[in-house]
Amino acid sequence: MRVLVRPKAGILDPQGQAVERALPALGFEGVSQVHVGRLVELEVADPAQLPAMCEKLLVNPLIEDYEIVSIDGAPAASAAGAAG
Amino acid sequence: MSDATVPAHRVLGLTDAEYDLILDKLGREPNAVELSMFSLMWSEHCAYKHSKKLLGQLPTEGPYLLMGPGENAGAVDVGDGLAIAFKVESHNHPSAVEPFQGAATGVGGILRDIFAVGARPIAVLDSLRFGEPTGTRSRYLLEHAVGGIGHYGNSIGVPTVGGEIYFEPAYEQNCLVNAMALGIAPHDRLTRAAATGPGNVLVLFGALTGRDGIGGASVLASAELDEDDADKRPTVQIGDPFAEKKLLECSLELLDSDLLVSLQDLGAAGLTSSSSEMASKGGLGLDIHVDRVPLREPGMEPFEIMVSESQERMLCVVEPSKVDAVLAVCEKWETTATAIGEVTDSGHLRVLQGGEVVGDMPVPALVDDCPLYDLAPEKPATPTYPTAPRALKAADDDLQATLPELLGSANIASRRPVFEQYDWIVQSRTVRRPEEADAAVLTLPDGSAIAVSIDCSGRRVAADPYRGTVEAVFECAANLACTGAEPLGLTNCLNFGNPEKPHVAWQLTESVRGMADACRALDTPVVGGNVSLYNESGGGPIYPTPVVGLVGRLPEAARAGRLGFAQAGDAIAVIRAASPSLPASELAKLRGDALPDGLPQQDTGALRAAIELVRDAVRRGDVRSAHDVAEGGLAVALSETALAGGLGASIDLTQVGGSTCQSKPLDEQLFGEAPGTFIVSGSRELLASLKAPKGVALAVSIVGEVGGDTLSIAHTGGTLSWTLDELRTPRERGLGDLLDDATRLDD
């Protein structure tokens, strides 16, 4: 399974800003809205436990949203946009 | 969202009477922009409406004072044309919500206060309070708060040189995260915040403005904010130390190039408080064009822009001819800068959007007209705080086992697991690191040094708000004395519960009175500080915690005192201005004893004489070690001194002077606490020359000798003896073990 973690919309994302500033410096124009998150890959016997794992450890639900996808790419669950 | 029947002003924390006063000042109903700005400026945080009358008692004049309360930070003269600016501030609530970012942005905020006055930050200290470390939540808060402090301080390159952590059940629901910062500046770079010169331009520089920490004001958006609208929710403030580093260098270059009229950081209440305070100090008005403020997210309302608490932003006033130069410096430091308004002579703060006025308030109404409240203090008839159950395993008469257990207890064990996460030597000024001396010592260019200490035992203040606060001030002065430093100025952060409750009002009133008296007794002014009230949720109020930060100077950095024994064969002396007592001590807490009603009477003259005796001895080089006796009493302090030096000692307790010491039970002599007690070591002749001034109740007695690898204490009934290893193991491992236990309980 994969857990995609990204900064919540609107929250300060220093990594994203740094990348957004660095790309034009390397000559890549027209880049905006860069957000940097992280990817957690894991095998779990019971995928139903994944949301709890995310809320308790893998994700900081105060500042991050997450999305659980199975390794073949099909979305399994998402907390994007859920009430924080 | 909020109940539609509750008026918006009440949801924002304004009383009906305060709202009526706003109607009166404006002559009309405030709109959403104005109401949100009033609610912040008239909050306790900005207006000090429950504490301002009390704070007037604090002495704010002193021979070294350069800049007192009312500026972003206070500053004292340290000679050689240099000033030290410093301040302590709380970040309690954000840290309870998100401890890592809360503590990190707490450090960021206090650093901005320092460079807003033109000083380069040189040190950070932290004062932390959590519930007992055996609780999983306390452990989580501790780990993340410490991580956040390290992340911000280490990244921006400012050393974390000291601090304190206490664990008490009273902080279980309300942790305290107070951060103190110090900065250095040439006198002529010290900058004030007042806006002057109508026609001058207001420039905002630093990070973009987002919906960070909008908090209560978000109720104003409630009409448009439903469950699908997560994007509009206020967000946790995220610290960006690299952005702050650029902001710091940019600010100092702007000041060095003489491009600014005044400078102010944006902290709590964001643009609202920084702009209105600049206008108020200059007695002028300001026009702010919110549509010119660079935004991080689209669609922000004017009130959101005005109250946003986005970090790493500064506001400055610039003469029109220098605006281009200011923008060029900001561009050099990759810092966004925008002219967002003008200084006017209207006396009004006006908020404009697309040329249209969306808010218009007289500056004095915002800044000065908030009603100040008298407190209704009343000493509680019954104890406020429950007594914690006994935690000590050693039996009351088993003093052999008591000392190692005390050394491994949460409030006494070594803080190494915490401070080793901090960079304490970056910038190469630190000459005394944590646990090497009683205060941190930082060298100055002329070979002299400053020493700094932060302290407060909330439990002792809870037992006696007046005397507990006097003790906190004298404790800091004692810490400074052990390095040879004389106090120059004091900053404080008053962390209390709800001041509208009579017993909290009593704690606050007595505590401020104690601080004022202690400062006078030490001839040390208060240069500024911070008040954090309403620290209670669920389990009742926190212990009253008036955190004291004291900055002093010593003439020679090379002679800064150390706490550890230095040489075998040295004599050991105890200097004692007060008799030790067990009630409210660390041992009493661990034994499950109730808090006493009051602490013993203090002789501040004797306390000061003890401090001066030690300071002068350290400065002359007459002693090779000096350590102040605090939590855990004489036996714990002797252990710390022995362990820090790696040398044992043999002590004859019957030689310890002081009229009433010998009549006390042995456990009280060993573990009782009292201010004004020191352990010094050095040559027997020089120690013998230490004399108390005439007429002062101060005992100076030679009680033993340094040497060997055991600490042995002879008393009238026999001798207690521990190898250094028996003491070192619990002291070094105590905190880590307690935190590990919490992990296991969690599993």
- Which of B233, B308, B334 should we substitute to test contact with A (largest number of A Cβ atoms within 10 Å)? B233
Pick the residue from chain A with its C-alpha nearest to B235: A11
End-to-end CA gap in chain B = 37
- Separation in Å, CA of B305 to nearest CA in chain A: 13
Residue pLDDT, tens place only, B220-247 = 544 344 444 444 455 678 899 999 999 9
Judge whether B516 and B74 are in contact, CB under 8 Å. no
Asked if A63 and B210 come within 8 Å (Cβ–Cβ), the reply is no
The confidence score (pLDDT) of residue B747 equals 39
If you average pLDDT over residues B264-292, what whole number do you get?
92
Residue pLDDT, tens place only, A46-73 = 999 999 999 989 999 888 999 999 877 5
Judge whether B476 and B484 are in contact, CB under 8 Å. no
Q: pLDDT band for position B742 (50/70/90)?
A: low
If you average pLDDT over residues B567-589, what whole number do you get?
96
The confidence score (pLDDT) of residue B1 equals 42
Look at residue B718 and tell me whether its pLDDT is greater than 60: yes
Residues of B with a known catalytic role:
45, 91
Q: pLDDT band for position B659 (50/70/90)?
A: low
Task: Assign B516 to helix, strand or coil.
Answer: helix
Pick the residue from chain A with its C-alpha nearest to B98: A62
The confidence score (pLDDT) of residue A83 equals 34
Predicted ipTM of the assembly = 0.74
Q: pLDDT band for position B447 (50/70/90)?
A: very high
**Domain count across chain B:** 2
Asked if B296 and A10 come within 8 Å (Cβ–Cβ), the reply is yes
Domain for residue B338, yes or no?
A: yes
Q: Where a domain ends, among B335, B367, B399?
A: B367
Domain for residue B361, yes or no?
A: yes
Q: Where are the domains of chain A?
A: 2-78
The confidence score (pLDDT) of residue B178 equals 96
Domain for residue B575, yes or no?
A: yes
The confidence score (pLDDT) of residue B667 equals 95
The confidence score (pLDDT) of residue B660 equals 65
Residue pLDDT, tens place only, B108-149 = 999 999 999 999 999 999 999 999 988 888 889 999 999 999
pTM given for the model: 0.91
Domain around B713: 562-747
Pick the residue from chain B with its C-alpha nearest to A63: B236
The confidence score (pLDDT) of residue B267 equals 85
The DSSP 8-state label assigned to residue B510 in this structure reads H
Domain for residue B394, yes or no?
A: no
CA atoms within 13 A on the CB side of B100: 10
Q: What percent of chain B has pLDDT over 70?
A: 95
Q: Which two tokens stand for residue B418?
A: 């915490």
The confidence score (pLDDT) of residue B214 equals 77
| Fold assignment, A2-78 | Mth169; Chain: A , (3.30.1280)
The confidence score (pLDDT) of residue B225 equals 40
- Separation in Å, CA of A60 to nearest CA in chain B: 9
CA atoms within 13 A on the CB side of A82: 13
Asked if B230 and A21 come within 8 Å (Cβ–Cβ), the reply is no
Q: pLDDT band for position B537 (50/70/90)?
A: confident
Angle at alpha carbon of residue B484, lines to B482 and B487, rounded to 5°: 95
The confidence score (pLDDT) of residue B233 equals 54
The confidence score (pLDDT) of residue B234 equals 58
If you average pLDDT over residues B15-33, what whole number do you get?
92
The confidence score (pLDDT) of residue A75 equals 63
Backbone angles phi, psi at B596, to 5 degrees: -75, 160
Judge whether B634 and B576 are in contact, CB under 8 Å. no
- Separation in Å, CA of B10 to nearest CA in chain A: 24
Residue where the block lists tokens 């610039």: B318
Q: pLDDT band for position B216 (50/70/90)?
A: low
Instruction: Say how far apart CA B546 and CA B48 lie, in whole Å.
Output: 15
Domain for residue B395, yes or no?
A: no
CA atoms within 13 A on the CB side of B586: 27
The confidence score (pLDDT) of residue B283 equals 92
* Neighbour order of strands in the sheet with B74-77: B65-67, B74-77, B82-90, B176-186, B120-130, B160-167
Judge whether B595 and B385 are in contact, CB under 8 Å. yes
Burial of A45 (0-12, 13-18, 19+ CB in 10 A): exposed
The confidence score (pLDDT) of residue B46 equals 86
Domain holding B18: CATH number? 3.90.650.10
Domain for residue B170, yes or no?
A: no
Q: Which residues from A are below 8 Å from B when comparing CB atoms?
A: 8-14, 17-18, 21, 60, 62-63, 81-84
Q: What percent of chain B has pLDDT over 90?
A: 78
Return the number of CB contacts < 8 Å for A and B: 52
Domain for residue B509, yes or no?
A: no
The confidence score (pLDDT) of residue B208 equals 93
The confidence score (pLDDT) of residue B227 equals 45
Instruction: Say how far apart CA B386 and CA B347 lie, in whole Å.
Output: 52
CA-based nearest residue to B547, from B116, B78, B110: B110
In B199-297, alpha helices (H): 241-256, 270-282
Q: pLDDT band for position B215 (50/70/90)?
A: low
Domain for residue B660, yes or no?
A: yes
More confident residue, B272 or B5: B272
Look at residue B510 and tell me whether its pLDDT is greater than 50: yes
Residue pLDDT, tens place only, B473-503 = 999 999 999 999 999 999 999 999 999 999 9
Q: pLDDT band for position B580 (50/70/90)?
A: very high
Q: pLDDT band for position B4 (50/70/90)?
A: low
